[in-house]
Structure 1
Amino acid sequence: MLFPATRMRRLRRSTAMRSLVRETHLRPSQLIYPLFICPGEGVRKPIGSMPGVFNLSIDEALKEAAECVELGIGGLLLFGLPESKDETGSGAYADDGIVQQALRAFKANRALDPLVLIADVCLCEYTSHGHCGVLVHERGEVHVHNDQSLPLLARAAASLAAAGADIVAPSDMMDGRVAAMREALDVAGHHDTPIMSYAAKFASAFYGPFREAADSTPQEGDRRGYQMDSANGREAMREIEGDIAEGADMLLMKPAGPYLDIIRAARDRFDLPMGAYQVSGEYSMLHAAFERGWLDRDRAMLESLLGIRRAGADFIVTYFAKDAARLLG
């Protein structure tokens, strides 16, 4: 029916009316807060390019976790900054690795039980060269060796599960990593530990601030040889299909805002629980606009998150998690 019989504004007249007919909802329990864990005690080191985000020692991270529980946030995604690095990223799979230590401390505090603890599985934070796998020199070229990296990534996943990770989340983009991790987890008795695969992780300029936070900038070359080309949507679907076939239980799309079409396409095609990572560059870009008064902070923050949910993400990894939860609460 046409105007004036059909008036779309009828259902927008009041706050209560808009709430009643709202199609997409954003709740604190759908938010995951990333934490960067570093050695030491009482450490709360600001990350210059990410206002309000810090490198945290375990005691300080425990305080952040307790605040997240109070706010009703769904979980934490843990990254580690080791005391030392080497060619093979051994800190990623060491029993006394920094994230393993943090997981044990979190699990010992029963007040933190409402949080789902997700451990990122990658080598880039732990390798001296900053790449996500084993670096080799062949035929005068330097590249990351896929198959030599798989056993180390699988070992890291099993180590993190043993330390208490509720979910392991491979972000390395090596082919076959999900199958290798599933086998390692099952052999170690961690049959019930889910794998949340960064199934479609694009080589993106929006990761810049994260590399300061995690001290993981490649010393040579870049990651375009294993992370996805940002132009390829169909390839993303193939990546997801492959990870599901290998045993992925959940999916994570990264970045979020510039790739809403990928999130929507994946949601329409796959039934697995799926999240999206609003990455450091998205966060820092918005903060730069907030600081200049160009955008309304609260409205723009929530709108950016709601857009990711509307595209199809069941949950969102975001550095805005605490601020958004305060508003939503």
Structure 2
Amino acid sequence: MSTMSGSFKLDLPVRPRRLRRTAGIRALVEETTLRPADFIAPLFVIDGKAAPEPVGSMPGVERLNIADLVKECRGLLKTGVRAVALFPKIDPRLKNDHGTAALDEDALILRAVRAVKKALPELVVITDIALDPYTTHGHDGLLTSDGADVANDATVEVLVKMSVLHARAGVDFVAPSDMMDGRIAAIRRALDAAGCEQTAIMAYSSKFASAFYGPFRDAVGSSKAADSAPLDKRTYQLSPANRREAVVEALLDESEGADALMVKPAGPYLDIIREVRDATRKPLAAYQVSGEYAQLHAAAKLGWLDLERTAMESLLAIKRAGADMILTYFAKTAARLLQGGGK
């Protein structure tokens, strides 16, 4: 058995490990940092006064009535998370093929926005602009007459009206997630015409037809029935195979007046985040979606991964790829960990 004599020395003028030697040195040269203010917490709201409803496929995530939603938002602010994205789960009896409940001036989401902004005016509130929570078929827009596809222009007409309602309710950002052509320009014109020129648009610009959305669809009740074919949104969401197309979509939204752009999902599309980051100077969001969250929980439950460490590493990777802000269901936990408070 050989022993280390200590007499052997490499002639190395450059030793990268010098900059990893102590925690203090590592902190000095750290290139990417996470802050609680980087996170946007997606929250699900339900009507009435029911107790919180756990989302079975998303451990730790609940649907909240409006009063509990306000409490959750207050708690998030205390951790340093300054923004939320709200998603409604409406009574199935209010749904139809045309998603008409989306234009109800007393819709659940509008009442939720008003309550949150009244209680916490400093909190940034973002709302989803798409029809999938309101349609019986679960698509993000209106179907063509033969039901074979989503009608682009007719859908945009509804989204424009929906955006104005949300702006008047007090949101800071409307966030069109539908992927219809031309909707950003149409929404911007309508907001300005309605006197809502200060309402910003966060465009779901590069949203892929991903298999990672399943738990979210459970949470908002937009999934198809168990005996039905899976939703196929490939005629309007991006192909997971395409990088250049994702950049084209992002730059198109920028040219139409989007204030911030988004890539969704985040983790499986880090290369897209970097491509879009390099192509624009606009603020860039990335959405760590429900399937990304659920798979980390599932692996941790089996003892295969450390949940906190993998969650934080996944968020750091998204930030490192170029995202300025991250929509994540880990928002509260991550913020507490960054503050040194654990769970």
Q: Deviations over 1:125-178 (max 9, x none)?
A: 11111111111233xx62110011011001111100111101100000000110
Alignment of 1:109-148 (within 5 A): 109=119, 112-138=120-146, 142-148=148-154
Partner of 1:88: 98
Give the AA of the match of 1:86.
N
- Structure 2 counterpart of 1:192, from 180, 195, 198: 198
Give the AA of the match of 2:39.
L
* Alignment of 1:13 onto 2:21: yes
- TM-score when scaled to structure 1? 0.96
Q: Where does the alignment leave 5 or more consecutive residues of structure 1 unmatched?
A: none
Partner of 2:302: 292
Shift of 1:190: 0.3
Partner of 1:208: 214
Q: Deviations over 1:240-286 (max 9, x none)?
A: 12111111110011000000000001111100000100000000000
* Alignment of 1:243 onto 2:249: no
Shift of 1:288: 0.6
Contact 1:27–1:328 (CA under 8 A) maintained in structure 2: yes
Q: Distance in 1 between matches of 2:102 and 2:188?
A: 17
Change (3 A) 1:3 1:305: farther
* Alignment of 1:45 onto 2:58: no
Q: Where does the alignment leave 5 or more consecutive residues of structure 2 unmatched?
A: 1-9
Q: Deviations over 1:46-94 (max 9, x none)?
A: 0000000011110111111011010000200011112221222122222
Alignment of 1:309-328 (within 5 A): 309-328=319-338
Partner of 1:36: 44
Q: Which ranges of 4 or more aligned residues in structure 1 deviate by more than 4 Å?
A: 218-221
210-219 vs 55-64, which deviates more?
A: 210-219
Q: What is the SS of the residue equivalent to 2:149?
A: strand
Shift of 1:3: 5.4
- Structure 2 counterpart of 1:22, from 4, 25, 30: 30
Shift of 1:117: 0.4
Contact 1:92–1:126 (CA under 8 A) maintained in structure 2: yes
- TM-score when scaled to structure 2? 0.92
Partner of 1:155: 161
Contact 2:117–2:123 (CA under 8 A) maintained in structure 1: no
Q: Equivalent pairs: percent with the same residue? A: 51
Q: Distance in 2 between matches of 1:76 and 1:248?
A: 19
Change (3 A) 1:11 1:188: same
Q: Distance in 2 between matches of 1:148 and 1:42?
A: 35
Q: Distance in 2 between matches of 1:47 and 1:125?
A: 16
* Alignment of 1:101 onto 2:115: no
Q: Distance in 1 between matches of 2:232 and 2:163?
A: 24
Contact 2:263–2:273 (CA under 8 A) maintained in structure 1: yes
Q: Deviations over 1:165-212 (max 9, x none)?
A: 011000000001101111111111100111000000000000011110
Q: Distance in 2 between matches of 1:60 and 1:234?
A: 42
Q: Distance in 2 between matches of 1:8 and 1:93?
A: 59
Q: Distance in 2 between matches of 1:3 and 1:239?
A: 51
Contact 2:141–2:151 (CA under 8 A) maintained in structure 1: yes
* Alignment of 1:277 onto 2:283: no
Contact 2:41–2:331 (CA under 8 A) maintained in structure 1: yes
Alignment RMSD, CA only?
1.3
Change (3 A) 1:3 1:115: farther
Partner of 1:164: 170
Partner of 2:71: 63
Contact 1:28–1:71 (CA under 8 A) maintained in structure 2: yes
Q: Distance in 2 between matches of 1:242 and 1:56?
A: 36
Contact 1:118–1:167 (CA under 8 A) maintained in structure 2: yes
Q: Distance in 2 between matches of 1:289 and 1:175?
A: 38
Q: What is the SS of the residue equivalent to 1:260?
A: helix
Structure with greater Cα Rg: 2
Q: Distance in 1 between matches of 2:309 and 2:71?
A: 27
Change (3 A) 1:125 1:3: farther
Q: Distance in 2 between matches of 1:3 and 1:75?
A: 52
